[in-house]
């Protein structure tokens, strides 16, 4: 599923466009006990409930593709009778009317989902009549197919924060009554995936609120798919590779990581400028090696990083965009600017020191009144050139004459001058 497919589904999560037929659920406490079950005709819900549940369903399709949203391929064994895909297809075909299948789904989540607190399992059934579109995206009044699908969500349920409030029964300000509040999903899925405006029963789109620590058991044990790493996890793994290559030298590893990040950013810009950019670029260990060569990373560290990178990502080579850390690129840019500024200040200080050294000590001592003698002309020349400088009267004006060879150049007040 791409952004266009996801946007098409999300646009339907509005009061006037919604066609969700049914919603079922199960509230589970922290000891994995079923507290209450839900079974509702979705369009018959009270307006306030309707919009709250619709917000939960929409959230499952929110976030960045490759990070919060991961599309998983259904393994062949799960497509066989008794497999997870077959179970989900049966649940879809039942339109959530089969209590036995629903209980089995709840069991699957309760037995496998790793969560310490209370949570609500929700599952929605929808049937979307996909209207045919022409090449210019104009809609035709005819259907391509009916995309029937399920949206699953696991939402944390936690106590509201303590505070003060008006207690109408006592007509006073007192402690607010705390109640259990359903939050937005931690994990979710859409089955089958909606790819190129059509159902793909061989794929499941999954949602993960926490991209740093997604629920792997949700992907593998509940949905029966091989887990994938989010872009955030890939960034973290890559940063760890660079850090390990320099042992405990935090400063050096940081500087090298910033340099590599700048190289990745430059590569992304170059790729974006190319004519054919529809296909995302995967970043192999060879690309990493080339970037490090241009960044002057020490050879032994570069070899270690490249080897570790190849091993770490042998199952799935990351996309270039997944490894770019915008904050690191910005921090590296600021660090370089600071270093350049320090170098300029040091250069200016050296120039001031050189100028001071040109003032004869005897003249410094001849200033008892505190007056500092200044010069209209200060020359800085190579030692071998100093002996060639002569004083000469030209046109009645006293001048300093400096002989210049054809291959010699001069700078006046820091500006290159042709002679």
Q: What is the C-alpha separation between 256 and 235, in angstroms, rounded?
A: 15
| pLDDT (tens place) for every residue of the chain, 419 residues total | 889 999 999 998 988 889 999 999 999 999 999 999 999 999 999 999 999 999 999 999 999 999 999 999 999 999 999 999 999 999 999 999 999 999 999 999 999 999 999 999 999 999 999 887 766 555 665 667 899 999 999 999 998 888 888 888 888 898 888 888 999 999 999 999 999 989 999 999 999 999 999 999 999 999 999 999 999 999 999 999 999 988 878 888 888 888 888 888 888 888 776 645 557 888 999 999 988 888 778 888 899 999 999 999 998 899 998 998 888 888 888 877 877 788 788 778 777 776 666 555 555 555 555 555 556 677 777 777 777 888 888 888 888 888 888 777 777 766 666 66
End-to-end CA distance of the chain: 68
- Contact criterion met (CB below 8 Å) for 294 and 263: yes
- Which of these, 361, 327, 3, 413, lies nearest to 194 by C-alpha position? 3
The answer to whether 71 and 60 are in contact (CB under 8 A) is no
Q: How many helices (H) and strands (E) does the chain have?
A: 13, 16
CA distance 184 to 239: 30
> For residue 297, what pLDDT is reported?
83
Q: How distant, in Å, are the alpha carbons of 75, 96, 117, 128, 406 from that of 25?
A: 27, 10, 17, 21, 90
> Which residue is it, tokens 């159902």?
199
Contact 153, 188 (CB under 8 A): yes
Question: CA–CA distance from 194 to each of 91, 147, 201, 203, 204 (Å)?
Answer: 17, 8, 9, 9, 9
């Amino acid at each position: 599923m791409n952004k266009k497919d996801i946007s098409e589904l999300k646009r339907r999560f509005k009061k006037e466009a919604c066609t969700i037929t049914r919603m079922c659920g199960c509230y589970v406490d922290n000891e994995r006990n079923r507290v209450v079950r839900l079974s509702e005709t979705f369009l018959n819900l009270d307006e306030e409930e309707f919009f709250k549940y619709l917000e939960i369903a929409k959230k499952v399709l929110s976030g960045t593709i490759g990070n919060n949203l991961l599309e998983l391929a259904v393994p062949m064994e799960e497509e066989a009778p008794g497999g997870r895909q077959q179970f989900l297809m049966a649940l879809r075909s039942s339109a959530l009317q089969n209590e036995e299948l629903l209980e089995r789904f709840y069991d699957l989540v309760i037995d496998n989902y790793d969560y310490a607190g209370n949570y609500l399992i929700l599952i929605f059934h929808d049937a979307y009549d996909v209207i045919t579109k022409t090449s210019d995206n104009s809609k035709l009044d005819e259907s391509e197919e009916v995309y029937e699908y399920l949206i699953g969500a696991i939402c944390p349920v936690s106590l509201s924060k303590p505070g003060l409030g008006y207690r109408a029964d006592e007509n006073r300000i007192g402690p607010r009554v705390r109640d259990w509040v359903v939050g937005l999903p931690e994990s979710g899925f859409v089955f089958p995936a909606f790819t190129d405006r059509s159902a793909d029963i061989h794929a499941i789109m999954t949602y993960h609120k926490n991209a740093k620590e997604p629920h792997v058991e949700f992907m593998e044990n509940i949905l029966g798919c091989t887990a994938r790493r989010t872009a955030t996890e890939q960034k973290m793994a890559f940063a760890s590779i660079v850090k390990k290559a320099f042992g405990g030298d935090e400063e050096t590893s940081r500087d090298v990581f910033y340099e590599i990040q700048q190289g990745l950013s430059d590569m992304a810009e170059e790729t974006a400028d190319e004519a054919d950019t529809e296909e995302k670029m995967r970043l192999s260990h060879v690309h990493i090696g080339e970037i490090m060569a241009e960044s002057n990373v020490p050879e032994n560290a570069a070899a270690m990083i490249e080897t570790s990178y190849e091993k770490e990502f042998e199952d799935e080579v990351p996309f270039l965009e997944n490894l770019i850390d915008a904050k690191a690129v910005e921090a590296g840019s600021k660090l370089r600017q600071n270093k350049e500024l320090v170098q300029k200040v040091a250069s200016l200080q050296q120039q001031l020191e050189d100028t001071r050294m040109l003032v004869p000590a005897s003249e410094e001592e001849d200033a008892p009144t505190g007056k500092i003698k200044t010069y209209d002309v200060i020359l800085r020349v190579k030692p071998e050139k100093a002996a060639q400088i002569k004083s000469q009267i030209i046109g009645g004006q006293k001048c300093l004459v400096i002989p210049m060879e054809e291959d010699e150049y001069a700078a006046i007040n820091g500006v290159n001058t042709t002679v």
